[in-house]
Structure 1
Amino acid sequence: MSTELSVMESQSDAVQVGETLRLRRQMRGMSLKQVAEPAGISVGMLSQVERGLAAPSIKTLRAICSAMDMPVNWLFHRDNNLENQANEFIVQSNSRRSLTYNDGALIKELLTPDTQPQIQMLRFLMEPGADSGEPYSNADGGKCGLVLRGTLGLELDERQFVINTGDSFAFPARSMVRFWTVGETTCEVIWVVSPATV
């Protein structure tokens, strides 16, 4: 007998979680198989979860989310008041999802919903000393940003730039990029990518 606990309290919970997982998978451009295999479940099981027909255990949900680089708490970060829920076009300030790196030195807040996979806007909060790490790139698309406060160091294909408050930038997604905080002031950046990657 399994000792795993189900996190679904009602059919509506299962449908909501399934829809969130489906949108995330589609936003990442992943097939059912590409998610199911690393999650250790069958394609049929994943399909049922996405349609709200199965109530997976916490362990299974964590595995599915891990396969899509998605924190499991994103599944339940919803306002129960229907009048205040963000819809397919709007992300309310109190419903933003976030990813944390470098022990909290870099926080990425998602400002756009997963229903729009062709574009994604994020808010970066970077403490002094925050660094994105090794240069990376994406296959296609473009990226741009605006520094709201502080100073951003930006490396593009081994060329380094200093982006000050009020300055903006844009570059092809295929460029090798790295970024970091310059100075002792928190850096806040609005970062836009197309297509969505986070």
Structure 2
Amino acid sequence: MKNSKSMMLDTKIVEKLDQPSDGSEMQANTSSGGLGPRLRAYRQSRKLGLKELAALASVSVGILSQIERGMNVPSLRTVEKIRNALDLPIGFFFDEERPIDNAREDDAICRSNRRPVLKFGRQGLSKQLLHHAKSRVFEMMIIDLPPRSSSDFSSYPSEKGALVMEGKITFSIDGESSDLNVGDSLLFDGTRPHQLQNNTDFSAKIMWIVAKLPNEFLL
């Protein structure tokens, strides 16, 4: 059990992590772009401290601080925890660079070489968002699974669909696993815990579609 001096030290460490050392450092971090500064700015706009968001998302204060400072690439499961805690669209977590010559192009169009990208953890998994416009219902993306990689088990209030575009994946849901090949597809309740695995020595690619469900469908 920690004594009062140790608890005071922990609190000071958390407060130090939550505050920039000076205004110029905070500005430099924010202007550099990326998920960390974007998440930090949004959290602060919601008047949430690191400890508060960590508690809401069931993520440790240390991991959350490392993500905000760009020192940790979050896993898919961690992203989903933060997303659910803050009720954010998936597009918030993607890094995006819009071409200058297409700056006035309608948001309905998403060029293949300008897709927003989100990378997860150490295994090299990534998602390419297939739209720029903020989605009201559908979220469409391509998931790249490197050889011998897997996602965390996850669940989210939604209906999900998928189409295997390249390679072979193993889809697990409710304790059962099935191998899927190119052309095979899925449609399932996203609240059921599920996982994607690539157990081969070749890369795999799937199209992933998420339909966010209204609250009345979840009751």
TM-score of Structure 1 vs Structure 2, range by shorter chain: 0.5 to 0.7
Is the 2:94–2:129 contact (alpha carbons within 8 Å) kept by the matching residues of 1? no
CA change 1:34–1:174 in 2 (3 A) is: farther
For structure 1, the residue ranges without an aligned partner over 5 or more in a row are 8-20, 22-31, 41-61
2:57 aligns to what?
A: none
Aligned match of 2:197 in 177, 180, 184? 180
How far residue 33 of structure 1 moved from its aligned partner, in angstroms, is 8.2
1:52 aligns to what?
A: none
How far residue 86 of structure 1 moved from its aligned partner, in angstroms, is 4.8
* RMSD (CA atoms): 3.3
TM-score normalised per structure 2: 0.56
2:134 aligns to what?
A: 115
Query: For 1:168 and 1:190, how far apart are their aligned partners in 2?
Result: 9
Tell me the alpha carbon deviations over residues 153-197 of structure 1, each in whole angstroms, 9 at most, x when there is no partner.
10111111111111111101111111110311110100110129x
Matched position secondary structure for 1:37:
coil
1:143 aligns to what?
A: 160
Structure with greater proportional helix content = 2
Is the 1:79–1:85 contact (alpha carbons within 8 Å) kept by the matching residues of 2? no
Is the 1:147–1:188 contact (alpha carbons within 8 Å) kept by the matching residues of 2? yes
Kindly indicate whether structure 1 or structure 2 has the higher relative contact order, using CA contacts under 8 Å at least 6 residues apart. 1
1:100 aligns to what?
A: 119
Query: For 1:111 and 1:128, how far apart are their aligned partners in 2?
Result: 23
Query: For 2:207 and 2:120, how far apart are their aligned partners in 1?
Result: 17
What is the percentage of aligned positions where both structures have the same residue? 19
CA change 1:167–1:86 in 2 (3 A) is: farther
Query: For 2:155 and 2:124, how far apart are their aligned partners in 1?
Result: 22
For structure 2, the residue ranges without an aligned partner over 5 or more in a row are 1-21, 29-37, 51-67, 70-81, 214-219
TM-score normalised per structure 1: 0.62
Query: For 1:103 and 1:171, how far apart are their aligned partners in 2?
Result: 28
